[in-house]
Amino acid sequence: MIAENNPALQSWIEVSSQSDFPIQNLPFGIFQPKAADYGRVGVRIGDHVIDLSMLVELGYFDALNLEDPTVFHAGALNDFIALGRPVWRAVRASVSKLLQHDQPLLRDNEEDKKQVIYPISEVVMHLPVIVNDYTDFYSSIEHATNVGTMFRDPNNALLPNWRHLPVGYHGRASSIIVSGTPFHRPKGQIKPDENPPIFSATQRLDFELEMAFVVGKDTQLGESVSTQTAEEHIFGMVLFNDWSARDIQKWEYVPLGPFLGKSFASTISPWIVTLDALEPFRTSPPVQEPAVLDYLKTTGNTNFDIQLTVAIQPEGQAETIVCESNFKYMYWSIHQQLAHQTVNGCPVTIGDLYASGTISGKEASSYGSMLELAWKGTKPLTLKDGTTRKFIQDHDTIIMRGWAEKEGVRIGFGECTGKVLPTK
């Protein structure tokens, strides 16, 4: 067991038993104190942020002999991630030890604590990484089957390639936004049934419940990553909302796939949870039939048992949970996704995002999109305020949450939220 994951660990910083951020988590992100004019690297514990740039300045990381201690002053995690997995682990271990309840070094230094620790209410969160590239997969067999049933043949819902490779498309990195950032309803070409196309704001705005992994190691042109070595190239994971304009998407996607119906906004959670923190929650993947080609074969527990929920909150109203799903449902694992992305020699870059695709389970309550939950608009959902939804309306906020829980320890991602504003 990784020492920092020990369920018995306690911190001298008070952490609620329901917090996503106990001492066993310690995710990385970029925060900016409201009184400051720039962001820097932090670690989350409970309702507080630990400023790693100040830990460096005050000498708490001296024993690590970091190659470049200035990385914690950067406004993105890319330079820190580039130091490599042994450094990620050493920093997490060092922070964990500082925060353990019986360690007085920082605990009993009131002046240093004032410079190092911020209440979460006093900071603003930024995108954690500079994203150069973004790929979105289509890796839930339940979601793919539902979509195929709706739009193609219910008796032959999956396309012939689906069980043989992780289907994906190259998304638009420039429109990835951090949780809490509102965006405007997109507009584009829509093709009403039996009528010529029109230019309009989307009438079928949807969320897609996803997770994404963050690349932690560059590769060169021509280099491939195997499923066995994939985790050496993965820094951690975030929640991901792949906002979708279904009517724009439907008209444009043949023959080259998603384009303007997807590229207007994608929301990610601000804290990157490391694979080390998720280690206790590994679980076996589903049986893949037919057997996959050799370069996609995996061994061991390559999936993670992460509970997921989605809520819709109309403006000024209480939220309604509309989806309860789990990352363990994924047919194609993160290892297979990265191996497939690179098998042709495609290089990957630190900070790149690879999203899972919509995460749906077998039960209707676990479907990860409004397209499925309201079944193409034929089964509207009723919210707590009495209003109904076929798709997402202006001023609605979508709230995604994710956490794993075992032996009294809850490792979570916080919230991934986005509010829809009217079309400009």
Separation CA 347–CA 132 (nearest Å): 12
- Take residue 108 and report the two structure tokens written for it: 């009993």
What residues are paired with 241 via a beta bridge? 209, 267
Separation CA 208–CA 146 (nearest Å): 14
Distances (CA, A) of 420 to 200, 210, 231, 394, 409: 16, 18, 35, 5, 34
User: 73 an active-site residue?
Assistant: no
DSSP string, 165-215: S--EEE--GGGEEETT--EEPPEEEE--TTS--EEEE-S-EE-BEEEEEEE
The conformational region for residue 180 under phi > 0 = left, psi -120 to 50 = alpha, else beta, is left
Select which of 48, 73, 101, 143 is catalytic.
Answer: 143
Separation CA 54–CA 21 (nearest Å): 20
Residues in Cβ contact with 203 at an 8 Å cutoff, skipping those fewer than 6 apart:
190, 247, 391
Task: Using alpha carbons only, give the angle 121, 122, 128 rounded to the nearest 5 degrees.
Answer: 90
The owner of tokens 């029109």 is 198
Separation CA 195–CA 217 (nearest Å): 49
**Which helix (H) or strand (E) covers residue 328, if one does?**
none
Amino acid at 107: R
Q: What is the distance between the terminal CA atoms of the chain, rounded to a whole angstrom?
A: 52
- Strand residues in 347-396 grouped as ranges (E): 353-355, 381-382, 388-389
Amino acid at 195: N
Amino acid at 321: I
Distances (CA, A) of 353 to 33, 296, 297, 350: 26, 20, 22, 9
Active site residues: 143
